[in-house]
Structure 1
Amino acid sequence: MTAIYSLVPVPFLIIALALVARRMRPFVCVASLLMWLQVGVAATVCLPHMAAGSAPLASGGLRLDAVGSLFVVLNTVVVASALAHAVGFFAREAEGAHGPSMRALREFYVFAALFLLSMYAVVVADNVGYLWIAVEATTLLSAPLVYYHRSHTALEATWKYLIICSVGIAFAFVGTAMLYSASQRVPMLGDGSLSLTALSGHARALPHGLLRLAFVFVLLGYGTKAGLFPLHSWLPDAHSEAPAPASAMLSGALLNCALVALWRISRLMADAGEEAFVQATLLPMAVVTVLAASLLMLRQRDLKRLLAYSSMENVGVMAAAVALGVGSGFALQAANHSLVKTALFLLAGNLLQRYGTKSIRQLQGVMCDQAAQGILLLLAAVAVAGTPPFGSFLAEWQILAAAADGRHIATVAIVCVALAVAFVGLAVQVGGVVFGDPLPAGREERGGAGASTLAVPAAMVMASLVLGTMLTPKLIALVAGFGR
């Protein structure tokens, strides 16, 4: 079990260095290298427990199983990629008239490391109470990343994020209390238990009425944190106002945590024989989320808000996988979305620094100005829209096939239409940015993106392509035992 705790030292080392560093340029380079060391640590610890049939590590309310292992590695890769890109990102910001202060950079790296630790806590929690605390911690520790620029709009987005997600987590707390109350009705659980392993082992004995009510409250709580419609209003503001590396972490890693929380509780419901109730409550919410996000994408004029609504659309697809119990589809969709959306937000950050605007209308003709950036942006948009041969296409196909097998024909039809609308929205908006006529005046140009700022996005897009073409059978076999 001590293997889980080996994930802790590197983030705390980054925090310590951030607090004592006198020159931030060397520090951000060291922090980036340390995070890639953390990727190696996470892979070493987690890969043996990711395969189907492998024994999980469990102790003290923590459990490292296939689910936790996958998301520990995935979230670590996202944060490492964001901090690698941040080296050049913050260096370019420092060249401007209003570059980041030493205090702002210290806070960014301290809270980024703490944020990663809180996400670890979510995905390895084997206790419903610990799970609730960890999800709330991700909100509190990521809020300073949203407020990084200290602007009025960033302050508004931060408070909106904190208030809405805190209200949501209050609902999840009520659901957690109801689960504990339900466990007290089972003699084999003594005075009650919040252990997911214990609850699952006696799920059939839990009072089903109370269990259903608990799931509704948990769904409202963690659904708010995931950005499910109509609980999503914090998501576009927070993603838009945060600096690009933070936006990448919010979209590529944070949203996964809320969905993992829903997955854990939904599997408990399945053990209790309540799969139909989970589908009746979560599946319509997921479908409406995909449809609403797709329609909202059509009218966006801000590039980062467009990407935020794309994240919301992908969350809806993953929530559908959770509702249907399609573990491998959920895992594959989460992996591809995390990789590609990280690339998209980092590329959007490059454009914002280059042109000083997030307005899609002011970002026309990137291909004429920066061909490599334009090609990567186009490929990433195609990948996140679920187009073959990228991995998200196979994930969405698998989820829709499961829905069809379960005779959810209306779900399949609505989601297919919504995905087509989302594809059109991304194609029109991103196509204009890439291929539109460059504006002759009216935007400030601050210098092109160098190779270092394109390396991480290129690697993320390539990884999604590999998942969709070369490694998909191995990945599906790896997560075939994707369970609690």
Structure 2
Amino acid sequence: MTTPLAAPAPAPTPAPAPGAPAAAAKTARPRSVKLLLAVAGLDAVLAFVAAFATPASAVFRAAGGYLVLDATSRLFLLVVGLVFLGVATYLWTRVGQTPELSERVDRLVGYSLAFVVAANLALLSNHLVATWALVELTTLAAVPLIQHRGTRVRLRASWTYFLFSSIGLALTLLGFACLARGMEASGAPEVTFFLDGLARAARQPSELWRRLGLVLIFLGLGTKLGLAPMYAWLPETYHRAPPAVTALLAAIQFNVALALVFRVVQIYRASDQGVIGPELVALGLATMAVSAVGIISTRNYTRLIAFASLNHGGVIAIGLGIGRIAAYGVVLYAVSNAFIKAILFLTAGKIEAHYGTEDVREVSGLLEDMPYSGLFFMVGTFALLGFPPFGSFLGELIVMSGLLRGGHHGVFAAFCAILTATFIATGRAIFPMIWGEPRKPVRWASQPLATIAPKLFLLACLVAMGLYLPAPVNALFRQVAAGLGAE
């Protein structure tokens, strides 16, 4: 007699695998990068509309007068929007090509969005102290960005950056306190830090408190621009931070701080040129000298670009210090170098990922081994050195012309000598990287057009600024320069 087979026991309901949440998170991470790309695209479109939908001279205020949309804010919003789009595209392609980079990318995206929101609000701010606070928010967002996928050297670089930034912002705040004391001493009807109120107070005779305040403000904001003597954080931070974060610091935060410097110069140029001019020229020359020494001594191409960023800050400071005809050159040079730094730092990130080194002696034959990155690195280097036909060449030329026309012959001689040393040292290090014999087998990785389109657009802008600016763009540049005292 056969025994009937027992019915099979029902299969147990499978418990969730321990790695399921992690797998779900990995699936969600690329979506966060796509969100970043979408926000960056929308930001660039809105900045473009804000820049050119109204006349360059139009001024709009909102939020009880705390926000202002004028020529200066429109220009720098456009710069920030275009650079941010390039950074977001870089992150999207890097995460797509290297899946292991997706770990903690959602954290990177969150802090990047906070950084850019604070940067945009700082550019729109019509209140000097509110702008200062928003710049400080970009600093707080940047610290964890520098630490992304943290190593000991990144942790040290982030805290060095935070320390110097805090000192610079404290000096700036102390400068604001001196301005307030100066307004009281000069008999101003009220102490205000709204831009139009400061402009009215600046018509009062200059006195010691105001002059001291301006000295402290430029010294403090010079920390964010990497001006000597508060520059020491910049080469190390730009070198150690992830390439996308370095681009955010060099091309976005730098220009947010520069816009604040523009605001102060626009208000006090007419009444306090005797303070503004000598201080900015001295800071600029000292910074250019430090930059030249750093470029000569380094053999790391990321640090070399970082030291070149110091040189850019120095040229801008000198142009702002002399004013007049140089003002238009400063605007052109500042915008050009925002694009140059974004192109070069993002390209350097791809080169380092390919070769596994940042030593200039270990990289050769970029144009053959990495055609796209090699091309961007070559053209970016030419623009970095101020070759024609890029906007950096024209901007530098106008600043030099301003030095001669203003009778600053000693400064002009020092300017030219430092630029010559910088040119020779940069070419000696970078040109063999571009045209030397490849040291690795040629490996042309296919790249969709979308991955290089933002850098191509920034490159086209650099050429246009050196050859021909469309009338609306030129009008915007001239309106900003007029506020800086352009003739």
User: What is the TM-score normalised by the length of structure 2?
Assistant: 0.88
The secondary structure found in structure 2 opposite 1:204 is coil
In 1, Cα distance between equivalents of 2:365 and 2:146: 29
Q: Which amino acid aligns with 1:304?
A: T
| Matching residue within 55, 58, 66 for 1:54 | 58
Residue of structure 2 equivalent to 1:450: 447
Residue aligning to 1:63? 68
Match of 2:123 in 1: 123
Q: Which moved more, 1:27-36 or 1:222-231?
A: 27-36
1:273-306 per-position Cα deviation (integer Å, ceiling 9, x unaligned):
2112211111111122122212311221111111
Contact 1:262 1:322 in 2 (8 A): no
Q: Distance in 1 between matches of 2:135 and 2:363?
A: 36
Out of 82-91 and 156-165, give the one that drifted further.
82-91
**Distance in 2 between the 1:440 and 1:124 partners?**
48
The CA deviation at 1:154 is 0.5
For 1:277, the equivalent position in structure 2 comes to 275
- Cα pair 1:354 1:448 within 8 Å, conserved: no
Matched, 1:373 2:373: yes
* Distance change >3 Å, CA 49–CA 120, structure 1 → 2: farther
* Residue 165 (str. 1) matches residue 162 (str. 2): no
The one-letter amino acid of 1:270's match is R
Deviation at 1:308, TM superposition (A): 0.8
Match of residue 395 from structure 2: 395
Q: Deviations over 1:331-387 (max 9, x none)?
A: 211111111211111111111111111121222222231233222211110012111
Secondary structure of the residue that 1:274 maps to in structure 2? helix
Moved more, 224-233 or 355-364: 355-364
Aligned residue runs from structure 1 range 130-145, under 5 A: 130-145=130-145
Q: State how far apart, in whole Å, the 1-side matches of 2:180 and 2:446 are.
A: 53
The correspondence of residues 14-93 of structure 1 with structure 2, limited to 5 A, is 23-48=28-53, 51=56, 53-57=57-61, 59-93=64-98
For residue 302 of structure 1, the aligned residue among 300, 303, 326 is: 300
Q: Which residue of 1 is the match for residue 316 of structure 2?
A: 318
Q: Give per-residue Cα distances to partners, 1:296-321, cap 9 Å, x unaligned.
A: 11221111111111111111111122
Q: Where does residue 198 of structure 2 map in the other structure?
A: 199
Specify the code of the residue in structure 1 equivalent to 2:234: L
Aligned partner of 2:4 in structure 1 is: none
Deviates more, 1:273-282 or 1:30-39: 30-39
Match of 2:284 in 1: 286
Kept in 1, the 8 Å contact 2:29–2:102? The answer is no
Q: 2:242: which partner in 1?
A: 243
Q: 2 CA distance for matches of 1:115 and 1:315?
A: 21
- Among candidates 441, 454, 467, match of residue 465 of structure 2: 467
CA–CA distance in 2 between the matches of 1:425 and 1:149? 33
CA RMSD between the two structures: 2.3
Deviation at 1:166, TM superposition (A): 0.5
In the alignment, residue 64 of structure 1 is paired with which amino acid? L
User: How many Å separate the matches in 2 of 1:379 and 1:387?
Assistant: 9
What amino acid maps onto 1:171 in structure 2?
Answer: L
Gaps of 5+ in 2: 1-24
2:36/2:113 contact within 8 Å kept: no
CA 182–206 in structure 1, closer or farther in 2 if over 3 Å, else same: farther
Q: Distance in 2 between matches of 1:137 and 1:324?
A: 31
The 1:113/1:358 distance shift into structure 2, 3 A limit, reads: same
The answer for the alignment partner of 2:261 in structure 1 is: 262
What do the CA deviations read for 1:387-430 (whole angstroms, capped 9, x no partner)? 11111111111112122221111122211222222222221221
User: Is this contact kept in 1: 2:176–2:213, CA < 8 A?
Assistant: yes
- The residue type paired with residue 80 of structure 1 is L
Per the alignment, residue 13 of structure 2 pairs with none
| SS of corresponding position for 2:364 | coil
Deviation at 1:448, TM superposition (A): 3.9
Alpha-carbon distance in 1 for matches of 2:353, 2:445: 9
- What secondary structure is seen at the aligned counterpart in 2 of 1:480? helix
Residues 252-279 of structure 1, C-alpha deviations (whole Å, 9 max, x = no match): 11111222222222232224x2112211
Q: d(CA) in 1 for partners of 2:375 and 2:269? A: 44
Identify unmatched segments of 5+ residues in structure 1: 1-19
* Cα distance change on mapping 1:209 and 1:449 into 2, 3 Å: farther
For the 8 Å contact 1:307–1:345, the answer to whether it is kept is yes
Letter in 2 for 1:88: T
CA contact (8 A) 1:36 1:80 kept: yes
Percent sequence identity is 25
Q: Which amino acid aligns with 2:313?
A: V
Alignment correspondent of 1:15: none
Partner-residue secondary structure (3-state), 2:179? helix
C-alpha spacing 1:93/1:157, structure 2 compared with 1 (3 Å): farther
Instruction: Give the whole-Å Cα distance in 2 for the aligned partners of 1:64 and 1:182.
Output: 28
Q: Does the CA contact (< 8 Å) of 2:369 and 2:440 recur in 1?
A: no
**Structure 2: how far apart are the matches of 1:407 and 1:472?**
32
Closer/same/farther in 2, CA of residues 280 and 41 from structure 1, 3 Å limit:
same
One-letter code aligned to 2:385: A
Tell me how far 1:50 sits from its aligned partner.
Answer: 6.3
Tell me the amino acid that sits aligned with residue 37 of structure 1: L
Partner amino acid, structure 2, of 1:252:
A
How far the C-alpha of 1:213 sits from its partner, in A, is 0.3
Is this contact kept in 2: 1:56–1:66, CA < 8 A?
no
- Distance apart, 1:100 and its partner CA: 4.1
Deviates most, 276-285 or 25-34: 25-34
Which is greater in Rg? Answer: 2
Flag the 1:476–1:411 CA change in 2: closer, same or farther, 3 A.
Answer: farther
Shift of the 416–57 alpha-carbon distance from structure 1 to 2, 3 Å rule, reads farther
Match among 94, 99, 102 for residue 99 of structure 2: 94
How many angstroms apart in 1 are the aligned matches of 2:409 and 2:446? Answer: 46
Deviations 1:147-194 (A, max 9, x none): 11201111010000001110111111110111112222344433x112
Q: Secondary structure of the equivalent of 2:388?
A: coil
Alignment CA distance shift 1:61-1:132 (3 Å): same
Give TM-score, length-normalised by structure 1: 0.88
Count of paired positions: 455
* 2:7 match: none
Does the 8 A contact of 1:344 with 1:457 survive in 2?
Answer: no
